[in-house]
Homo-oligomer: A and B are copies of this chain.
Amino acid sequence: MAKVAIQPRVLKGFRDQLPQVCLARTAMLARITEVFASFGFVPIDTPALEYAEILLGKGSEETDKQLYRFRDNGDRDVALRFDLTVPLARFAAMHIHELGTPFRRYHIAPVWRAEKPQRGRFREFIQCDFDIIGPKSPLADAEILLVIHRCFKALGLSHRIRFNNRILLNALLTQLGIETKIVAVLRAIDKLEKIGVDAVREELETQADIQSRSADQIFAFLELSKAAASNRAVVEGLKDALADSDSGKEGIARVEQVLAVTSASGLTDAELQLDLSIARGLDYYTGCVFETALTELPEIGSVCSGGRYDNLAQLYTKQELPGVGASIGLDRVLAALEELERIPQRSSSATVLVALMDETSASGTAALATTLREKGLAVELYPQTAKLAQQLKYADRKGIEYVVLATAEQLARQVASVKEMRSGEQRDEIPIDALPTQLSSN
């Protein structure tokens, strides 16, 4: 057999999304965006392609290397966005005077990173970010945490959000006289779950040059939330530990406000846990930080993380824009939903297939499909003549629940048969008027 002109393939690290995955993703996003809307968040979109200068910002060498960057036909230095945070900063700098604050936006869109592809990691993936820009109040932090809770509840995924506030650790380090080492300490603590206490202590003492006594104090501080029976108990411990620190008191007050608001809205200590070991890698965060684990699948890691920042868009505007935001890891969540079978595995959006018995019944069959659609049913019409066995096999393979069959003679008498695919049971001579009830009874 002759070869085709062009071998069909996709780039390494890229992927086609087949209907089954796309349907699951669409269903997942519909639930998430409904929650966003119920909290008054609005969608925005920004160009996939931007000036490289804008996207690079103060970027690290790491992001520079990962950028899809090129010269366009007008010889402009451009690149594909690698996240939705930098575009949000640029967007806010340009439009916030018109939009005003508080501004609650969400943005669900693809990003591109030329990183080494790994299992479950792609060079093109969809990010899902939501932020409240403007307010400094911990009430905004609490709202973000409530949105996270509601999203995972809507997806049927039990979860635990662990949160912290960077002001607390800052206050401790100030008390210990080592506040300049905050970044190194945060980085070390961030590895606690992965490498364990001993390795973190090693890192603190040798790399960050922190005295053993100070390291003891840091671990004792982290122990406050590890040993505590409740969020209330952690707060009491913090009040003792940071009794002499004004910034410590401010941090505690913010944490208490978050806890008061979220518990008044129904979150339990198991759902939102104050955990002093939560650090988050980015030095961009300045207050509340958080991450989210699925209680049934903790091993997949955080499915939603984020935090508070003092100044979103300082590279692009003189206007100070504080805010708080989070990002849902859609690929991880989708994998979890599939593993837990919380999203129907179908490759059709129809629940009914109207079979075509022969050429002469085409109009009548199409009219029947229209009638069922008008009753709100999702209906595929088999769009060509074929053996009935083939049409039934088609319905079976697509996961379509019912097949409706009617010959021209039956259509003339306004009756049809219904085959339920799972049981194989067939009911005959059903009046067409009665079909919608029969087909939505499950």
Provide the bound-state CA to CA distance between A15 and B48, in Å. Answer: 10
| A264 touching B364 in the complex, CB below 8 Å, given contacts A11-B78, A318-B4, A370-B146 | yes
Choose the segment among A157-165, A217-225, A298-306, A345-353 that binds chain B (4+ C-beta atoms closer than 8 Å). Answer: A345-353
Provide the bound-state CA to CA distance between A15 and B257, in Å. Answer: 39
Binary contact readout A27-48 vs B (1 if CB under 8 angstroms, 0 otherwise): 0000001001111111111111
Choose the segment among A65-73, A197-205, A336-344 that binds chain B (4+ C-beta atoms closer than 8 Å). Answer: A65-73
Closest B residue to A42 using CB positions: B19
| A397 contacts chain B at the CB level, 8 A cutoff | yes
Choose the segment among A172-180, A184-192, A374-382 that binds chain B (4+ C-beta atoms closer than 8 Å). Answer: A374-382
Binary contact readout A110-149 vs B (1 if CB under 8 angstroms, 0 otherwise): 1010100000000010000000101111011011001000
* Inter-chain contacts of A76 with B (CB < 8 A): 11
Provide the bound-state CA to CA distance between A14 and B124, in Å. Answer: 20
Within 8 Å by CB of A46, from B16, B373, B376, B377, lies B16
| A389 contacts chain B at the CB level, 8 A cutoff | no
Output the least CB separation between A298 and chain B (Å): 27
Provide the bound-state CA to CA distance between A266 and B19, in Å. Answer: 30
The reply to whether A380 and B257 contact each other, CB–CB distance below 8 Å, is no
| A279 contacts chain B at the CB level, 8 A cutoff | no
* Inter-chain contacts of A143 with B (CB < 8 A): 366, 381, 383
Closest B residue to A366 using CB positions: B261
The reply to whether A383 and B71 contact each other, CB–CB distance below 8 Å, is no
Provide the bound-state CA to CA distance between A116 and B133, in Å. Answer: 35
Output the least CB separation between A409 and chain B (Å): 16
Binary contact readout A269-313 vs B (1 if CB under 8 angstroms, 0 otherwise): 000000000000000000000000000000000000000000001
The reply to whether A383 and B135 contact each other, CB–CB distance below 8 Å, is yes
Choose the segment among A50-58, A228-236, A237-245, A424-432 that binds chain B (4+ C-beta atoms closer than 8 Å). Answer: A50-58
Q: How many residues of A contact B (CB 8 A)?
A: 117
Within 8 Å by CB of A350, from B40, B265, B316, B370, lies B40
Among A1, A135, A136, the one with the most B-chain Cβ atoms within 10 Å of its Cβ is A135
Closest B residue to A54 using CB positions: B6
The reply to whether B16 and A43 contact each other, CB–CB distance below 8 Å, is no
The reply to whether A45 and B16 contact each other, CB–CB distance below 8 Å, is yes
The A74-122 residues at the B interface (CB cut-off 8 A) are 74, 76, 78, 80, 90-91, 93-95, 98-100, 102, 104-105, 110, 112, 114
Provide the bound-state CA to CA distance between A57 and B5, in Å. Answer: 9
* Inter-chain contacts of A350 with B (CB < 8 A): 37, 39-40
| A196 contacts chain B at the CB level, 8 A cutoff | no
The reply to whether B19 and A124 contact each other, CB–CB distance below 8 Å, is no
The reply to whether B318 and A260 contact each other, CB–CB distance below 8 Å, is no
* Inter-chain contacts of A268 with B (CB < 8 A): none
Provide the bound-state CA to CA distance between A313 and B73, in Å. Answer: 29
The reply to whether A362 and B260 contact each other, CB–CB distance below 8 Å, is yes
* Inter-chain contacts of A73 with B (CB < 8 A): 65, 68, 114
Nearest 7 pairs of A and B residues by beta carbon: A40-B380, A40-B350, A70-B70, A19-B42, A17-B45, A135-B384, A137-B384
Given contacts A42-B347, A137-B384, A140-B384, 20 further A-B contacts (CB under 8 A): A6-B57, A11-B49, A11-B76, A14-B50, A19-B105, A37-B349, A37-B350, A39-B380, A40-B378, A49-B124, A68-B72, A70-B70, A102-B383, A102-B394, A104-B380, A139-B356, A139-B366, A142-B366, A260-B363, A261-B363
Chain A interfacial positions (CB closer than 8 Å to B): 1-2, 4-12, 14-19, 22-23, 26, 33, 36-51, 53-54, 57, 65, 68, 70-74, 76, 78, 80, 90-91, 93-95, 98-100, 102, 104-105, 110, 112, 114, 124, 132, 134-137, 139-140, 142-143, 146, 150, 257, 260-266, 313-318, 347-350, 353, 356, 362-364, 366-367, 369-370, 373, 376-385, 394, 397, 400
17 A-B contact pairs sorted by A residue (CB < 8 Å): A6-B315, A8-B54, A15-B47, A16-B91, A17-B43, A18-B95, A19-B99, A38-B377, A40-B350, A49-B112, A49-B124, A132-B383, A134-B384, A136-B384, A139-B362, A261-B366, A265-B370
